[in-house]
Amino acid sequence: MKVVVGLGNPGEKYVKTRHNIGFMVVDKLVKEYRAVYAKNRFDATIHECFIEGEKVLFVKPQTFMNLSGEAVKKIIGKYGCQIDEILVVLDDSALPLGKIRVRGHGGSSGHKGLKSVMDCLGNAGFPRLKIGIGGCPSERKKEFVLSPFTDEEGDTIENALNKACKAIDVWFAKGITDCMNMFN
């Protein structure tokens, strides 16, 4: 089993914001794989499909960003998947706009949603895919991550979303090491 968790905030007000890029990736993957809506349970929206005979869940926690780990923990508990079968997709304000970075494990780098997942799972050994949303002064970070992408940034973000989906395709087929080698 594989689980792709896109981090973001629920609600129409946040749909196109920088902090919701994880949700945007999950939405593209759901369309790409024609994943079916499975349920809105465990404080998350869950779609599922089979890829090469393996069950895959596409998850968007509905707990708001800073509590994302609560939903992830419930899903992992229910489905019994291993820590390395989870891929968390999130925004990163330390990366240049549109750049992606894949890691097999690591720290939170101050990202509260990622920290929540780590804290709730009691483990930081899960893969993650970060997408650069551009930088901002630290005193304006909350305002920045909750702002929408500009029209001028649209093509760069669309390219990043496509590249992120290709990286996840490689993760499905070949694992995290090949994914990192190809996309970092």
Q: Is 19 one of the catalytic residues? A: yes
Tokens 């005193």: give the residue.
Answer: 139
| Separation in Å, CA 45 to CA 39, 57, 58, 68, 175 | 6, 10, 8, 12, 25
Query: How many residues are given for the chain?
Result: 184
Cβ neighbours for 75, distance < 8 A, ≥ 6 positions apart: 3, 5, 42, 44, 46, 57, 59
180 has which bridge partners? none
Q: Which residues are catalytic?
A: 19
